[in-house]
């Protein structure tokens, strides 16, 4: 037999053996196959054909409008609620000390004492440093002695003037001599005033050798130690004091926000919250104090200054924080979870749960959007149930089933969908609660339009 013929016969025998083995182990292999692959395998043979498993809708895969078995699509829902919703503006801010003072000596000399401790709080009038005052005391003593000398000269000149006036009457001296003596008296009187000024200056200079805190604040790290000789008004200060209570935050908002901030701020101070980087933890709450007098032309923003009590010292100069400015409050508006808002070719819409357990597509108008909920101007009423999950397989009129658990079956990508926190009526001072009972932030950024970036409306 030719070599090629023998090879073909051998290959045919091997293929037949492999097919037989696969046929004999087909049921065991099917059971171990992944679920997604089982959907494409032919059904297992049974002894009774009437007991064979029925084919799944849609060729063994989930129908686009149904669950795995072609039934209603499991979804999660939330209720539209009527609530009072605050409107906020957000900006990145820098913490700045309310007052900052660099302690600089006003006279030169050797530092003999610095009684404060670095990092401690000091009060206005506390001693920060003392400079050697021996030279300045001597200067004061000289000024005092000079005044005493001039006082003696003045007394003598006045007595001479009295004698000259008596001699003028008897023509013993000329009137010119008396006038000259009167001028001498006036000169000594002026000299005494100069002496008083010199004494006051020497006293002030001597007082400058004791350096005191001009404000309440916290002392920083000193830059000069005891024993060093400093110069008056030198470029290097001794230490810097910063006032931390209260404290300021400088932040910027778009110039378009002036139309809302200026009128609202003229009625009463606007509330500002300082937040950490995650925008969830409030560090402190304060008031808007200053709107800058000009817009930054390079950025198109305007700088604002808010003041915080900072009782817990949660704010520190130089730190970055997120500022949350409450502009106004929308009273009695309809709110819905952000997850329920969808966008399609015809605009923004939601799926409303109908009485017949079907999804009804309804156009809505959104005016304010937050991370967790939105304000719906038109299209929804208080109490209506809206769908918040399953949009990849959802369409207008599709049958749905409200899931009782916190998650719905896997989407087409195999990942479970968690239940979003539903909108809730504000309680306990305006706080809303999500589906897990935890506080839910209700504030809305000032943003036109609505909705997150959901999937487009599926084709019916």
In terms of Cα–Cα distance, which of 458, 447, 455, 451 is closest to 339?
451
Burial 362-400 (b: 16+ CB within 10 A, else e): eebebbbbbebbbbbeebbeeebbbbbbbbebbbeebeb
**Prior bond to 246 cis, omega within 30?**
yes
Question: 76 pLDDT band (50/70/90 cuts)?
Answer: very high
Beta carbons of 64 and 284 less than 8 angstroms apart: no
pLDDT of the residue at 210: 96
Residues in the chain: 460
Instruction: Tell me which DSSP letter residue 94 carries.
Output: E
Is pLDDT larger for residue 444 or for residue 121? 121
Q: Which two tokens stand for residue 148?
A: 């005493």
CA angle (364, 366, 275) in 5-degree steps: 150
Residue 29 has pLDDT above 70, yes or no: no
> Residue 175: is its pLDDT beyond 90?
no
What pLDDT shows up at residue 17? 64
Helix (H, G, I), strand (E, B) or coil at 382: coil
Class of domain 102-230: mainly beta
Which pairing describes strands 271-275 and 320-337: parallel, antiparallel, or unpaired?
antiparallel
pLDDT in tens, 358-400: 999 999 999 888 778 899 999 999 999 999 998 888 999 999 9
Q: Is the pLDDT confidence value at 406 over 70?
A: no
Q: What does the pLDDT look like over 187-211, one tens digit per residue?
A: 999 999 999 999 999 999 999 999 9
Among candidate residues 364, 371, 335, 386, the one with its CA nearest the CA of residue 447? 371
Q: What is the mean pLDDT of residues 299-318?
A: 95
Residue 186: pLDDT above 90?
Answer: yes
Residue 131 has pLDDT above 60, yes or no: yes
Token output for 58 = 């849609």
- pTM assigned to the model: 0.61
Q: Does CATH number 2.40.420.20 belong to domain 73-85+331-445?
A: yes
Mean pLDDT of the chain: 79
Write down the domain spans for the chain: 73-85+331-445, 89-98+242-329, 102-230
Q: Are the C-beta atoms of residues 111 and 239 closer than 8 Å to each other?
A: no
Specify the residue for token string 């045919």: 12
Q: Hey, what CATH class is 89-98+242-329 in?
A: mainly beta
Q: How confident is the model at residue 260 (pLDDT cuts 50, 70, 90)?
A: confident
255 secondary structure, DSSP code: G
Phi and psi at residue 14, in whole multiples of 5°? -65, -40
Judged by phi (left if over 0) then psi (alpha if -120 to 50, else beta), residue 164 lies in alpha
């Amino acid at each position: 037999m030719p070599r090629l013929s023998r090879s073909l016969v051998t290959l045919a025998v091997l293929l037949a053996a492999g097919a037989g083995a696969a046929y004999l182990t087909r049921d065991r292999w099917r059971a171990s196959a992944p679920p997604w692959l089982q959907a494409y395998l032919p059904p297992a043979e049974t002894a009774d054909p009437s007991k064979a498993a029925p084919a799944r809708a849609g060729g063994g895969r989930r129908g686009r409008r149904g669950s795995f078995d072609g039934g209603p699509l499991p979804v999660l829902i939330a209720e539209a609620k009527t609530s009072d919703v605050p409107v906020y503006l957000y900006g990145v801010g820098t913490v700045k000390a309310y007052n900052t003072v660099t302690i600089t000596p006003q006279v030169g000399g050797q530092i003999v004492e610095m009684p404060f401790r670095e990092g401690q709080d000091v009060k206005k009038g506390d001693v920060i440093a003392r400079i050697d005052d021996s030279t300045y005391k001597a200067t004061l003593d000289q000024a005092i002695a000079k005044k005493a000398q001039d006082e003696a000269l003045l007394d003598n000149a006045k007595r001479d003037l009295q004698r000259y006036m008596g001699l003028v009457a008897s023509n013993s001296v000329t009137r010119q001599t008396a006038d000259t003596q009167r001028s001498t008296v006036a000169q000594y009187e002026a000299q005494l005033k100069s002496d008083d000024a010199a004494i006051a200056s020497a006293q002030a200079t001597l007082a400058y050798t004791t350096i005191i805190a001009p404000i309440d604040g916290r002392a920083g790290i000193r830059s000069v130690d005891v024993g060093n000789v400093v110069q008056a008004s030198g470029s290097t200060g001794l230490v810097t004091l910063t006032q931390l209570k209260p404290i300021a935050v400088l932040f910027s908002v778009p110039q378009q926000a002036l139309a809302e901030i200026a009128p609202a701020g003229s009625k009463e101070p606007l509330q500002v919250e300082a937040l950490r980087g995650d925008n969830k933890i409030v560090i402190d709450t304060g008031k808007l104090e200053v709107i800058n007098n000009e817009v930054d032309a390079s950025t198109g923003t305007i700088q604002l200054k808010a003041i915080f009590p900072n009782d817990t010292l949660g704010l520190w100069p130089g730190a970055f924080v997120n500022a949350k400015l409450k502009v106004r409050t929308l009273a009695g508006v309809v709110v819905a979870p952000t997850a329920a808002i969808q966008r399609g070719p015809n605009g923004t819409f939601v799926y409303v749960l109908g009485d017949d357990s079907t999804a009804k597509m309804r156009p809505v108008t959104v005016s304010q959007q937050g991370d967790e909920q939105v304000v719906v101007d038109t299209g929804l009423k208080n109490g209506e149930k809206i769908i918040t999950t399953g949009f990849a397989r959802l369409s207008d009129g599709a049958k749905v089933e409200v899931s009782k658990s916190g998650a719905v079956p896997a989407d087409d990508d195999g990942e479970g969908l968690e239940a979003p926190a539903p909108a809730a009526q504000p309680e306990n001072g305006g706080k809303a609660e999500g589906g897990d009972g935890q506080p839910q932030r209700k504030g809305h950024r000032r943003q036109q339009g609505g909705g997150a970036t959901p999937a487009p409306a599926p084709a019916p």
